[in-house]
Structure 1
Amino acid sequence: MEIITSILAGVLFATAIYNILQKQLLRIVIGTALLSHGAHILILTMGRLKTGQPPVLTEGISDYTDPLPQALILTSIVISFGVTSLLLVLAYRTTKENNTDNMEQLRGNENE
């Protein structure tokens, strides 16, 4: 199971890098969102996937799931939601002000 989630994280990282390197502003925002999702899956995989185990240690239980990766992912989800919404608002305002979402035109390289 950990191999499959590692491959999924790699695919998410690859598509995120591809989208971040595009010229359209919306694709860059989608790339950053995919990058954060890949990081979430990677953190979850590094915490070892154990199904059917309780996350808290009580009497009589010797094998348990570590709750720290889940807490880190929950915090990261909230932060990435905030960053993604900020980037969407900035992309919307930039597109409205400049009438384009092409990064080359926004940089002033109109010849390319």
Structure 2
Amino acid sequence: MEALLAMAIGVLAASGIWLVLRPRTFQVVMGLALLSYAVNLFIFSMGSLVIDKPPIVAAGIPADLEHYTDPMPQALVLTAIVIGFATTALFLVVLLAARGLSGTDHVDGESD
């Protein structure tokens, strides 16, 4: 399962980088979204996820014997999803305004 998750993160990151380097604004926006998904999956995978375990270690049980789920990466990913949605919406509005002013959707300002 770890190999599948690592491959998914790698494919998302590689696709995101490839799209960010494209000349059109929509492709850049989609690349940034894919990169944010890859980073969110990476942070989420670092949280020592265990099924059916509490997020806090019970009293009296040594921490090295009890498996628990760390709630911090889950909270960070949830916050990153909200922030990513807001910045994507802002980025789209700015790109639409730039397209209206320049008449092209190329990120370097040159037309076909």
In terms of fraction of residues, the more helix-rich structure is: 1
TM-score w.r.t. length of structure 2? 0.84
TM-score (norm 1): 0.84
Give the equivalent residue in structure 2 for 1:55.
Answer: 55
Q: Which runs of 5+ in 1 are unaligned?
A: none
- For the 8 Å contact 1:13–1:34, the answer to whether it is kept is yes
**Letter in structure 1 aligned against 2:27:** R
Structure 2 portions without partners, runs of 5+: none
User: Aligned partners of 1:10, 1:27: CA distance in 2, in Å?
Assistant: 19
Q: Secondary structure at the match of 2:49?
A: coil
What does residue 70 of structure 1 align with? 74
Q: Percent same amino acid at aligned positions?
A: 39
Q: Distance in 2 between matches of 1:23 and 1:13?
A: 18
Whether the aligned pair in 2 keeps the contact of 1:33 and 1:84 (CA below 8 Å) is yes
Q: After superposing the two structures, state which structure 1 stretch, 9-18 or 79-88, moved more.
A: 79-88
Query: Matched residue pairs, number?
Result: 108
Q: In the alignment, does 2:109 pair up with 1:83?
A: no
User: How far is the alpha carbon of 1:72 from its aligned partner?
Assistant: 1.0
Amino acid at match of 1:10: G
